[in-house]
Amino acid sequence: MAGRLNDDFLRRAERSIVGGVNSPVRAFRAVGIPPLFAVRGKGPYIYDADGRRYIDHLMSWGAIILGHAPPAVEAAIVRATRRGTAYGLSTPIEAELAEVIKSAFPSIELLRLVNSGTEAVMSAVRLARGYTGRSKVVKFEGCYHGHSDGLLARAGSGLATFGLPDSAGVLPSFAAETLVARYNDLESVRAICDEQGDKIACILVEPVAGNMGVVPARPDFLAGLRQACDRIGALLIFDEVITGFRVAWGGAQELYGIRADLTTLGKIIGGGLPVGAFGGRREIMERLAPLGDVYQAGTLAGNPVVASAGKAVLELLRKDKPYEALNLAAERLTQAVAASADSAGMPVWIGRVGSMFTVFFTEGPVTDYESARRANPELYADFFRAMLGSNARVERSEGVLLPPSQWEAAFLGTAHLRNDIVETTAAHAAAALEALRPPDGPVPRPSRARGAI
Residues noted as catalytic: 144, 239, 267
| Interface residue with ligand PMP, options 41, 130, 266, 403 (CB under 6 A) | 266
Distances 205 to 116, 121, 151, 184, 410 between C-alpha atoms, Å = 17, 10, 11, 10, 20
Q: Of the ranges 173-181, 204-212, 247-255, 330-338, which one interacts with ligand PMP (CB under 6 A)?
A: 204-212
Q: Of the ranges 161-169, 234-242, 255-263, 380-388, which one interacts with ligand PMP (CB under 6 A)?
A: 234-242
61: CB partners within 8 A, 6+ apart? 267, 403, 408, 409
Order across the sheet with 53-56: list the strands.
Answer: 38-42, 45-48, 53-56, 398-401
Q: What residue type is assigned to position 342 of the chain?
A: D
Distances 297 to 111, 265, 300 between C-alpha atoms, Å = 13, 17, 9
d(CA 54, CA 1): 10
The answer to whether 385 and 393 have CB atoms below 8 angstroms apart is no
d(CA 407, CA 158): 8
- Minimum CB distance to ligand PMP, residue 330 (Å): 18
Of residues 88-117, those binding ligand PMP (CB under 6 A): 116-117
Radius of gyration, CA atoms only, the chain: 22
206 is an interface residue for ligand PMP by CB under 6 A: yes
For ligand PMP, give the closer residue by CB, 22 or 173: 22
d(CA 77, CA 80): 5
d(CA 148, CA 123): 10
| Interface residue with ligand PMP, options 185, 239, 261, 368 (CB under 6 A) | 239
| Interface residue with ligand PMP, options 161, 211, 263, 334 (CB under 6 A) | 211
Of residues 268-307, those binding ligand PMP (CB under 6 A): 276
- Quick one: DSSP state of residue 198? G
- Minimum CB distance to ligand PMP, residue 115 (Å): 8
The SS3 of residue 31 is helix
Q: Which of 4, 235, 231, 241 is nearest to 121 (CA)?
A: 241
For ligand PMP, give the closer residue by CB, 29 or 145: 145
241 is an interface residue for ligand PMP by CB under 6 A: yes
For ligand PMP, give the closer residue by CB, 49 or 236: 236
Q: Of the ranges 25-33, 236-244, 311-319, 355-363, which one interacts with ligand PMP (CB under 6 A)?
A: 236-244
d(CA 357, CA 280): 28
- Minimum CB distance to ligand PMP, residue 411 (Å): 12
146 is an interface residue for ligand PMP by CB under 6 A: yes
136 is an interface residue for ligand PMP by CB under 6 A: no
For ligand PMP, give the closer residue by CB, 64 or 426: 64
The answer to whether 369 and 395 have CB atoms below 8 angstroms apart is no
- The full 3-state SS of 33-99, as one line of letters, equals CCCCCEEEEEECEEEECCCCEEEECCHHHHCCCCCECCHHHHHHHHHHHHCCCCCCCCCHHHHHHHH
Q: Which residue minimizes CB distance to ligand PMP?
A: 117
- Minimum CB distance to ligand PMP, residue 190 (Å): 24
For ligand PMP, give the closer residue by CB, 239 or 382: 239
The answer to whether 263 and 254 have CB atoms below 8 angstroms apart is no
Q: Of the ranges 48-56, 123-131, 206-214, 385-393, which one interacts with ligand PMP (CB under 6 A)?
A: 206-214
Count the site residues for ligand PMP by CB under 6 A.
17
For ligand PMP, give the closer residue by CB, 117 or 399: 117
Q: Of the ranges 24-32, 237-245, 349-357, 363-371, which one interacts with ligand PMP (CB under 6 A)?
A: 237-245
| Interface residue with ligand PMP, options 54, 61, 380, 384 (CB under 6 A) | 61
242 is an interface residue for ligand PMP by CB under 6 A: yes
Half-sphere exposure of 7 (CA within 13 A, CB side): 5
Q: Which of 64, 45, 47, 40 is nearest to 55 (CA)?
A: 45
- Minimum CB distance to ligand PMP, residue 274 (Å): 7
61-63-64 Cα angle (round to 5)? 110
For ligand PMP, give the closer residue by CB, 143 or 394: 143
- Minimum CB distance to ligand PMP, residue 264 (Å): 7
For ligand PMP, give the closer residue by CB, 151 or 329: 151
Interface positions with ligand PMP (CB under 6 A): 61, 116-118, 121, 144-146, 157, 206, 210-211, 239, 241-242, 266, 276
